[in-house]
């Protein structure tokens, strides 16, 4: 079973690593003892990183040379690799991470546990 294509595994690393890193740093240093704030902010940051990475990796390449003395290039559609995680493009994984992070932060605000 194929889980990712191309550099899709980076979305998994960012989506699990950054929230756990934020949680470990906040709880380890005694900055914040809760659960939702570090995970929510880590997921939002992971979402932004995945969005930017996915947009740059999955962008279409434009011809490099332009000018009057350059002949018109023959445009061929070459198969390009799409970077996905569970058949979802990396930039859309970023949106999912950010929405879930916002959900965690909104849940924290509604509970009134922000100190």
Domain boundaries along the sequence of the chain: 8-60+88-115
What is the pLDDT, as a whole number, of residue 69? Answer: 65
What is the pLDDT, as a whole number, of residue 42? Answer: 96
What is the pLDDT, as a whole number, of residue 65? Answer: 59
What is the pLDDT, as a whole number, of residue 80? Answer: 73
pTM for the whole thing?
A: 0.80
Average pLDDT, 10 consecutive residues per value, the chain (115 residues): 87 95 91 87 97 89 60 59 92 97 93 73
Question: What would the DSSP string read from start to end of the chain?
Answer: ---EETTTHHHHHHHHHHHHHHHHHHHHHTS---SHHHHHHHHHHHHHHHHHHHHHHTPPPPPS--STTSPPPPP--------EETTEEHHHHHHHHHHHHHHHHHHHHHHT---
């Amino acid at each position: 079973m194929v889980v990712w294509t191309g550099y899709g595994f980076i979305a998994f690393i960012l989506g699990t690593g950054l929230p756990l890193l934020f949680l470990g740093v906040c709880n380890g240093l005694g900055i914040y003892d809760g659960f939702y704030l570090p995970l929510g902010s880590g997921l939002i940051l992971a979402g932004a990183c995945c969005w930017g990475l996915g947009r740059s990796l999955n962008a279409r390449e434009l011809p490099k040379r332009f000018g009057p003395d350059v002949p018109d290039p023959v445009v061929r559609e070459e198969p390009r690799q799409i970077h996905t995680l569970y058949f979802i493009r990396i930039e859309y994984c970023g949106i999912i991470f950010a929405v879930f992070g916002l959900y965690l932060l909104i849940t924290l605000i509604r509970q009134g546990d922000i100190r």
